[in-house]
A and B are shown apart, each in its own frame.
Chain A
Amino acid sequence: MGSVFEVFVSSILDNNIALAMILGMCPLIAISTSTKNARGMGYAVVFVVTITGIINYPIYLLLQQTGTEQLNLLVFIITIAATVQFLEMFLEKFFPTLHNAFGIFLPLITVNCAVLGVSLFFVTNQYNFVETAAFSFGSGVGWLIAIVLLSGLREKMDKKSDVPKGLAGKGIAFITLGILALAFVGFTGVAS
């Protein structure tokens, strides 16, 4: 079980999906202006990434058996779109409070590259099923940590610091992300 735990920790810290793999940037920049929204989006990503990772794994095995791995992109993206659609209807019917909490974030997730990225990385890294599940969940948590950290910093900066006019907004968000990513480089080797 040591290796599963290693995969989990490394996907949160030294291979953080947002700060080391640089995936899911568009929502990371667009939604990180307030901590509340950032948390909502983060939880939704954890949820969807874990589920689609687990669903896509057996589907990939099926593709491998029929010798059509070339089509994995097409199949993965359809699975993701379908899962998101299904989740939305399911939550609306059975867990309306949770559905309200996720709100507009669920549909946006289909175009979050972190979700497709996780499905592609378990193929390149050749994980087995348990490792894929750990990797998917860990990546989601890593993304949640990144967006909450960034939004907290941006919120503080917005009120208290005097940012040059040309750098305000997206510019300073990238510089902040760079410093955050630099801090996460310090975690390299934690998991192994």
Chain B
Amino acid sequence: MNPRRIMYTKWFNISRDGVSRSNPILIAALGLCSALAVTNRVDNAIAMGMAVTFVIIMSSLITSLIRNIIPQRVRMVTYMVIISSFVIAVDAFLEAFVPSIHGALGPYVGLIITNCIVMGRSEAFAAKNPMRFTFFDGLSNGLGYTWVLVVIAAVRELLAFGTILDYQIMPSGFENWVVMAIAPGGFFVLGLLIWVLRDLTNSYEEETV
């Protein structure tokens, strides 16, 4: 097949929507709590991104599988039960195999349940589409979430500790920016990242009022 025709397939469009065009964090502003709370170190961000990607894919697949037998009125509660089962599994997995990261993430692993991206994908995509598209949608949204987290974490870790993934990057005379390690740093980096991306892609927010 002509490589340029790939750009018009449904697969390609689903992937592009998740990773960039309607990126869950930067464009839709969903799943912000964890994006800001765990991004002071790159390894935490990678772990969180992988955990969320796994939960999105699995819960979307299950939702898609039983989408025709979920009663309309209790669908939200059904999604919640499906999602929390996978979150508990992830929590137990992290506790057993990487206890240091589990300690650093703390209650934020449990808060994946209320991460609006997971719920949003179940409601907006998985409930209406067959499983093969759902898998790609979950994967691309998870990757879209992960890359934003890793970028924010890289900036914050570099400025706050002078390291990336614990390798010393900055020269020894570098004065650490304490503000980047605490909450305000996350807000500033995310705000500026949104600004840079909007200007690069020329997509501006509509006037709301």
Contacts and interface: CB of A to CB of B under 8 A. Distances in A.
A158 B205 CA distance: 13
A181 B186 CA distance: 10
Given A22-B37, A77-B84, A178-B184, A171 B198 contact: yes
A113 to B, nearest CB: 4
Interface in A1-47: 19-26, 29-30, 33
Interface stretch (A59-67, A95-103, A160-168): A160-168
- In this complex, which of B91, B184, B186 has the most chain A Cβ atoms within 10 angstroms of its Cβ? B184
B29 interface: yes
A64 B29 CA distance: 36
Interface in A136-192: 158, 164-175, 177-179, 181-182, 185
Contacts of B87: 73
B11 interface: no
B114 A112 contact: yes
Nearest to A170: B29
Contact of B183 (A20, A74, A173, A175): A20
Given A168-B204, A169-B208, A179-B184, A71 B113 contact: no
- In this complex, which of A71, A124, A167 has the most chain B Cβ atoms within 10 angstroms of its Cβ? A167
Given A22-B186, A111-B119, A116-B110, A70 B88 contact: yes
B191 A33 contact: no
B198 A166 contact: yes
Task: Specify the main secondary structure of chain A where it touches its partner.
Answer: helix
Task: Specify the main secondary structure of chain B where it touches its partner.
Answer: helix
A20 B190 CA distance: 16
A121 interface: yes
- In this complex, which of A71, A111, A124 has the most chain B Cβ atoms within 10 angstroms of its Cβ? A111
A170 B88 contact: no
A127 B36 CA distance: 26
B33 A170 contact: no
Interface stretch (B74-82, B141-149, B161-169): B74-82
B191 A172 contact: yes
Interface in B171-209: 179, 182-188, 190-192, 194-196, 198-199, 204-205, 208-209
B100 interface: no
B84 A73 contact: yes
B92 interface: yes
A82 B91 CA distance: 24
A78 interface: yes
Interface string B76-108: 110011001101100110000000000000110
Nearest to A27: B116
23 contacts: A23-B111, A25-B36, A30-B29, A70-B88, A73-B113, A74-B88, A81-B77, A81-B80, A112-B114, A116-B110, A116-B113, A116-B114, A124-B107, A165-B199, A166-B198, A166-B204, A167-B198, A168-B205, A174-B187, A175-B191, A178-B188, A182-B179, A185-B182
Interface of B: 29-33, 36-37, 76-77, 80-81, 84-85, 87-88, 91-92, 106-107, 110-111, 113-116, 119, 179, 182-188, 190-192, 194-196, 198-199, 204-205, 208-209
Given A30-B29, A115-B114, 8 more contacts: A22-B37, A26-B32, A70-B88, A70-B91, A71-B88, A74-B85, A169-B205, A178-B187
